[in-house]
Amino acid sequence: MTLREIVYLPNPILRKKAKPVNKFDKDLQTLIDDMFETMREAPGVGLAAPQINLPMQLAVIEYAEGEDDEDRPEDAPPPEKKMFVIINPEITKVSEEKVLGIEGCLSIPGLVGEVERHHAIEVKALNRHGNPIKIKAEGWLARIFQHEIDHLNGVLYTDKATQVWKPREEDSNVELE
């Protein structure tokens, strides 16, 4: 596997709508594996293809529900992380309830912002093999999906943020997408 270079603002690819993926070959599988490795190394919880300078409707996400649960005993084993590959994704349902949360982005280092997102969503997409999938997500996972799908449409969290700032020490637990 190969680490891919993450691009930063003001790279214009981050502002363009990515093109649908229609070729599910060995090169795509290698790219997906590379994206997971790049995301983990960064470190982040999500990575969209435009963030590595590829205008493709592809994103990877790795997250464990309860990972940030402050009530989880220290000696408890960490929750198992789930890996998601979403290709040509579309948000098909959203909750009326919206929540504010702090987000960061691997393509906008050194800043975080407060963004309002739907608490729960449903996404239809293709998996890494081109098979249709439907994902229901809520809470922080729903936020990650919305953030990554925005990337595929040329939208950055800073476009939706009510405020953006340089994080302080106490903000260090912000997950980067």
pLDDT digits (tens, 9 = 90+) for 162-176: 999 998 876 555 666
Residue indicated by tokens 């979403």 = 86
> Does residue 107 lie in a domain region?
yes
pLDDT value of residue 170: 63
Within-domain flag for 82: yes
Torsion angle, alpha carbons of 70, 61, 45, 161, to 10: -90
- pLDDT score of 50 more than 90: yes
CATH code of the domain in which 91 resides: 3.90.45.10
How far apart CA 141 and CA 95 sit, in angstroms, is 14
Domain membership flag for residue 57: yes
Residue 153 lies in a domain: yes
Which pLDDT does position 43 carry in this prediction? 96
| Mean local confidence (pLDDT), 48-68 | 91
Q: Which of 12-26, 59-73, 151-165 has the lowest mean pLDDT?
A: 59-73
Number of domains the chain contains: 1
Residue-wise pLDDT for 109-129, tens only, equals 999 999 999 999 999 999 999
What's the CA gap between 39 and 21, in Å, rounded? 20
Q: Which helix (H) or strand (E) holds 142?
A: helix 139-152
Predicted pLDDT at 66:
65
- Residue 77 placed within a domain: yes
**In Å, how far are 112, 115, 160 from 119, measured between CA atoms?**
19, 12, 15
Whether 160 maps to a domain, the answer reads yes
CA dihedral 58, 89, 122, 138 (to 10 degrees): 20
Q: What are phi and psi of 22, to 5 degrees?
A: -135, 5
177 in a domain, yes or no? no
What's residue 106's pLDDT?
98
Compute the distance between CA of residue 46 and CA of residue 30 in angstroms, rounded to an integer.
Answer: 17
Nearest C-alpha neighbor of 147 from the set 70, 52, 44, 65? 44
Catalytic residue set? 148
Give per-residue pLDDT as tens, 63-106: 987 655 566 577 777 778 999 999 999 999 999 999 999 999 99
pLDDT-derived band of residue 11, with 50, 70 and 90 as boundaries?
A: very high
What pairing do the DSSP bridges indicate for beta strands 120-126 and 132-138?
A: antiparallel
32 within 8 A of 58, measured Cβ to Cβ: yes
* Inside any domain, residue 155: yes
State pTM to two decimals. 0.91
Question: Which secondary structure element, helix H or strand E, spans residue 158, and what is its range?
Answer: helix 157-160
The boundaries of the domain holding residue 127 are 12-171
